[in-house]
Structure 1
Amino acid sequence: MSVADSVEFVPEPWFSTGRFARAALVAVPGILFGGGLVARIAGSTEANPWYQSLTLPALQPPGPLFGIAWAILYTLLGLALAMVWGTREAKGKRLAIALFAVGLAINLTWSPVFFKLHMISAALGIIIAMLVVALATAWAFFRVNRLAGWLLLPYLGWLCFATGLNVSILMLNPMADAMQIGI
């Protein structure tokens, strides 16, 4: 028996290589920039006249809080992605990254549908799809890297809260929904 045969293989942790740092340098700013750009283009600001005309639920946070919350959430999403991306030879890694990509693509459609197209009910369908894919992504991330999975939990919580806000806005403003009034 050689020394190599008696040594148990222990995979390197995600943080012990430069892979995590390289992945984080791409993922975090990319997700922050992409999310912020889509929100800005969609007019998801306090200056949006259509949004200002809506009756908002009592639990609606002030506008600046959304920007802060999303910056934190996108940072956590980027770090979680970098952890999974930087994990070598992990079973389920490709599925986890694919689910993340699908979820991010769905996420980036919500703001234009809600703020630009004024389709509150369609936006509700999108956010429910986001929640389902985010749950699957968190499960897949947990299987690859536990910490990465934990980092998605605030995002899941926020999506639950945002889904409630979307439902409330739809109920309070049925005639503002472009899908309901046939625009």
Structure 2
Amino acid sequence: MDEPVTPNTSVLKWSLITVPIVVVLGLFSGWASGSGADGPWFAALVKPDIFPPPFLFGVVWTILYVLMGFALAYVLAAPAGPDRRFAVLIFATQLFVNVLWSPIFFKAHLIAFAFFWILLLIVLVMATMAYFLRISRIAALLLVPYFAWICFAAVLNLRFWQLN
């Protein structure tokens, strides 16, 4: 796991693929589910005191998806092996769970189920970080802001459930 601080050519090449894929999947999920503060259902909900300004969500999620794409690029640029294969599988699984959260919350209006879904996501992201750490410390560290944000999102989801 000794790696340079600056990305090598292989990481940069992989990131040209992984970053756009992760960003597009994430943004598509939000768009397809009608997520956002301007939807009539969401606008009618009682907002928790900790609810940040709505514009912040798009900015933060875009940054997080970019970081996730770079983290995946670091793992894919590492030598092949069972750890790398499982790390990519667990990453794909957590991304799938992530992408489904918005439709569960915003489209299906299942606030309680969305809370338990995001708890599943937290566990999967912890597992992803643990497996990424076996391959690349940088890849694991790139997921720390994502982990912190989804922990905050879980608290926010819980508060929405309690208030509505």
Aligned residue in 2 for 1:34: 25
Matched to 1:153, the amino acid is V
* Structure 2 CA distance for partners of 1:91 and 1:145, relative to 1, 3 Å: farther
Aligned residue in 1 for 2:60: 69
Q: Distance in 2 between matches of 1:89 and 1:60?
A: 42
Contact 1:91–1:144 (8 Å) recurs in 2: no
Contact 1:32–1:75 (8 Å) recurs in 2: yes
Partner residue of 1:121 out of 94, 112, 116: 112
Unaligned runs of 5+ in 2: none
Aligned residue in 2 for 1:163: 154
Deviations 1:58-102 (A, max 9, x none): 110111100000011001100000000011235511111100000
In the alignment, is residue 47 of structure 1 matched against residue 42 of structure 2? no
Deviations 1:119-157 (A, max 9, x none): 001111110010000000000001100010011111110
* Structure 2 CA distance for partners of 1:89 and 1:119, relative to 1, 3 Å: same
Contact 1:124–1:167 (8 Å) recurs in 2: yes
Using structure 1 for the length normalisation, give the TM-score. 0.84
Q: Distance in 2 between matches of 1:110 and 1:135?
A: 17
Contact 2:15–2:69 (8 Å) recurs in 1: yes
Structure index of larger Rg: 1
Matched to 2:125, the amino acid is A
Identity of counterpart residues, as a percentage?
38
Q: Distance in 2 between matches of 1:12 and 1:166?
A: 37
Please give the residue correspondences for 1:88-103 in structure 2 after superposition, counting only pairs within 5 Å: 88-89=79-80, 92-103=83-94
Aligned residue in 1 for 2:98: 107
Contact 1:90–1:144 (8 Å) recurs in 2: no
Aligned residue in 1 for 2:125: 134
Offset at residue 20 of structure 1 (A):
1.4
Aligned residue in 2 for 1:176: none
Contact 1:73–1:154 (8 Å) recurs in 2: yes
Offset at residue 30 of structure 1 (A):
0.9
Contact 2:118–2:150 (8 Å) recurs in 1: yes
SS for the counterpart of 2:47 is coil
RMSD: 1.6
Aligned residue in 1 for 2:50: 59
Q: Distance in 1 between matches of 2:21 and 2:117?
A: 22
